[in-house]
Structures are given as structure tokens and as C-alpha cells.
Amino acid sequence: MPIRAKLHIMRLMQFPQALETVLQTLERMRDETGCRPCASRTVLDALKQIAPAQTSENLRAPTIDPPSRDYGAASSAPSSKTNKADKLAAVEERVRPCTKCPNLASSRTQTVFGVGNPDADIMFVGEAPGADEDAQGEPFVGRAGQLLTKIIKAMGFPREEVYIANVLKCRPDVPAGSFGNRPPTPREMQTCRPYLMEQIDIIKPKVIVALGAVAVEGLLGTRAPMRELRGRWDSFNGTPLMITYHPAYLLRNQSPSEKRKVWEDMMLVLERLEKPISEKQRNYFL
């Protein structure tokens, strides 16, 4: 086997989550294009040897086939016309029964995938579902969600015209008898992250808004106080990303100055989208 191929396999050994993401992508290509992705039988055999417990089931024949000699037939396969909504629905079908985090799967009521317009210009990303979201199966429906809806409407958008999701699709479990929510662990975020990446890749928003420090960590891997992060532009895989406070923070801190900071961040988003900003909006306070 070439040295370069061996190095790739060693990297896969170190990053099993990356391998799983690749396999999921190949399966999606198979389902959406009508033709099966091809891989060298040598590489398949090597992968089975280095990670039999994690890859043997995923590497069976129906998922990845050896190269075909009839290249003309493969190239003439009809291209898929599946729209964004159908693609998101397909990802949601995989998320719904997910048990990658056994503790979350056993304690949740249901997964909370995302909601909104698949063609949205703006995508809001929070940290994880709370009790209300776990019960209703929709992100941001509790008190923090009501405030987010108010912010979205003040920007001039109906809630259904943006897209809203979380880094985690399950509510983080809490000890029996406990109240409130806990933040996701880094491992939980890393495990669930590929689902969010697929959502972003399908929607292709013009701007992403990261709500709170946990969302920033889940998207960018950055840990820092929000006072140092908010109000400035970053980038996620080439998409402009605005960092601002989570609405729950504004519920805890009713200071008009803190609310004004979030609204100033949203005006920056409107400017990036080249949306007109009225005098009323410029003087608006949440």
C-alpha cells in the first residue's frame, strides 16, 4: 500500500468520528445520486483490519462498492433533483433514532432537529434543547425562544423565514430531581456536530448567528468570555458568523445596555445582508 494511503488510514484511526462522517456522506451520495460511490478493495480491506469494531458493519458491500469497469454507465446516471427540504428531512430521519450518546438517548423525550426555512438567509445556532424544547420537539420555544422570536421579528423577518437549530439535538440529561439545564460537554458536542454541519451545508445561509458561548465552542472550538467574543464577525467554513449573547442571558440580566448590545449585533447582521434599516430599528431597544 502507498505510504500516503497508510498515513490516511492512521489519521482515520485517530479520528473515528471523521470516518463515520465520511461514511454517512458516501451513503447520502448513494441515496441522492442513484449511483454508488466506489472505493479500492485494498483500502476497504485495510480499514476492516485497523478498525473492525467500528467500521465492519458500515463497510459492507451495500454501502461502498469496488470500482466499476463500466465508467460510461456511472457517468450517465441521472443527477438528483432533491431539494433542500427533502435533504434536511433525510438527515432528521437519521437524527431521530440516534443513540450515539446513550445517556442522552435514554433521558430525552425526543430529538430536537431544527425548524425554519431551508432557503433561509440567516441561521441561528444555540447550544441545546431545554425542557420545553424536549417536550415539543422544536428549538427555542420556551421563554428564551419567545425573546428570540421577538428579536427576529424586530429585524423584519417572520420566525418561519429564518432557520433555527442547536449544536446538540438532545436535551442534556440532569440528575433525577434536579431543575434547570446543564451545558453540553465537549464530547457530546463533538459527537453531535456532524448533524449540524450537514444542516449548514444544505441550507447554505448567508449569515450564521451563534447564540452564546456554548454555540461558539460547538461551531468554532473557541472558548472565551462572551464579552470578548460578541459583536464581531468571525467565519465558519467561509460563511460570515456573528457572535452574540444567548437570549437566556438577557432573561437573567435585564440591563438595557446588555439588551442594546444584542440589538446592535443584529443590525450588523442586517447590514451584512444589505437589508434596509429604518430609523425605528436603529433606535430600538429589546
Write the pLDDT tens digit of every residue in 117-136: 999 999 999 999 999 999 99
- Under a CB-based contact definition with an 8 Å cutoff, are residues 259 and 285 in contact? yes
* Model confidence pLDDT, tens digit, residues 135-150: 999 999 999 999 999 9
Contact yes or no for 245/226 (Cβ under 8 A):
yes
- Reading the block at residue 63, the C-alpha cell is 454501502
153 vs 6, more confident: 153
Grid cell for residue 16:
473515528
In this model, does residue 210 exceed pLDDT 50? yes
- How far is residue 286's CA from residue 275's CA, in Å, rounded to a whole number? 19
Please tell me the predicted confidence (pLDDT) of residue 178: 72
The alpha carbons of the chain give a radius of gyration, in whole angstroms, of 21
For the stretch 254-276, pLDDT in tens is 899 999 999 999 999 999 999 99
Specify the length of the chain in residues.
286
What's the pLDDT at 21? 55
Cα angle 220, 221, 225 (rounded to 5 degrees) comes to: 95
> Helices 143-154 and 256-272 meet at what angle, rounded to 10?
50
With a pLDDT cut of 90, the percent of the chain lying above it is: 66
